[in-house]
Structures are given as C-alpha cells and as structure tokens.
Amino acid sequence: MNILILGYGKMGKIIAEIAEERGHTIAGKIDISNVNQLEKLDTDKIDVAIEFSQPEAAFDNLSWAINHQIPVVCGTTGWLDKKPLIEELTKSKNGAFFYASNYSIGVNMFFKVNQFLAKMMNDQPDYEASMEEIHHTEKKDAPSGTAITLAEGIINELDRVKQWSLKEESEGKEQNVTITAKRVDPAPGTHIVNYHSEIDDIEIKHTAHSRKGFALGAVLVAEWIKDKKGVLSMDDFLTF
C-alpha cells in the first residue's frame, strides 16, 4: 500500500518505519514545516492516510483526506470537540474515517477490563472511582485521550458516575471520576484506574514500554481500512 503520513513527529516516524518494514511505501511525510506540499501530492496514488499530528492541525488534515477520498486513520487527541463534524463529512463524502484514542492492542484489552470492572461496581456503592495518567512532557493535551476513553467506559457502565474532571477542577463535583494527569520524562504512557473504599483499594494498570505498540496498531488498522467505508473504531476492528 501507499501510505501518507500526516504528522511526522515521534509517532509518525515510528509508524513510517513499521509500515516500510511491513512492505508498504510511504507516499508522503507531512508536518507543519511542509504542509503546503499536500496540494502537490498525487492523491490517486495514496491508498490510506495515517494522521498523528497536533490537536490544532488534526481537523484540517482529516478534512483534506476525506475530501480527497482517502481513507484516514487518526490517533491525534485533544481535538475531539470537532469530531462530529468529521464524522458528518465522512458520511456525506461516503468516505472512511477511523478514530481511536489508543491503537495499542494491550490498551484496548485494558479498555474492556475497565468496562467489566465498572459494571461489577454497580453492586459495590462504597467504592469511589478515580484515575491517574502519566505521559511525557511533550504531550499537550490533558487528560490523555486514553484516559478520557477509560473515564467514558466507567461512566457508561457505572450508574452512580455521570462525569469526569481533572483533579484540579473536581472540587464540589459529585458523581465524578477524578483524573490526575502527570507529565514527566521519559514516559510513553501509564494509566491507572482505582476504586477506593475504607476497607481496601482495587486497582488496574496499563504501562506502555515504548511507542511501537501504538504505531503497529495504527499500521494494522490502515491495512484493514483500505477498502472500507464509514465512521469506524476499534470495536469494528477487534473481535474480542
């Protein structure tokens, strides 16, 4: 396949490396320094775009790909207030848009465990849910997209929880999942979900050791999405 990389930072570089290892060709590497090259690309020779840029660039990158009938796989977080607009554009253009807050297979298994535990907690009212996430200092958004997905999983399954907030914004909020976001180096990503009671704590945790798991997952999805249409997610891609 010919893959266009939209966002050629640390993740983009690892994605390109893994894609080439798997026999694919990189049709272009676009970042803030050469975004003007987008209009010079031969879009007929691009099979899929993988978008891992910055929050402020994601919407324009995705719109460009969808308008040019290029299936696009997105892992950028921090822009999701505009995600409904991209979904509508995808439908109107009969395109293909895939979003996940995290492409690691292990993290997506963790999402399922988180949902299962939250559902069990409906019968255990003495436990209070909270979360902690740790990322490198270059990550601009907080909480992470993965943390938001985890919080949404809790909210969807645990009836007594209705919202999430960052710890520094949580004072006075009830029915809330409090998220502590830390930025330290080096830290590819750690997410901890905790249920606290006076008697004990129950904790589940995922720690990434490198970015390769995220990058490989994105390439696997790009291989899968090539001939598909619609607004897609990890629930469509994974069978567990």
Q: Annotated catalytic sites, by residue?
A: 135, 139
Strand arrangement of the beta sheet that strand 190-196 belongs to: 163-166, 176-183, 128-135, 190-196, 201-207
Strand arrangement of the beta sheet that strand 48-51 belongs to: 25-30, 2-6, 48-51, 72-74, 96-99, 230-232
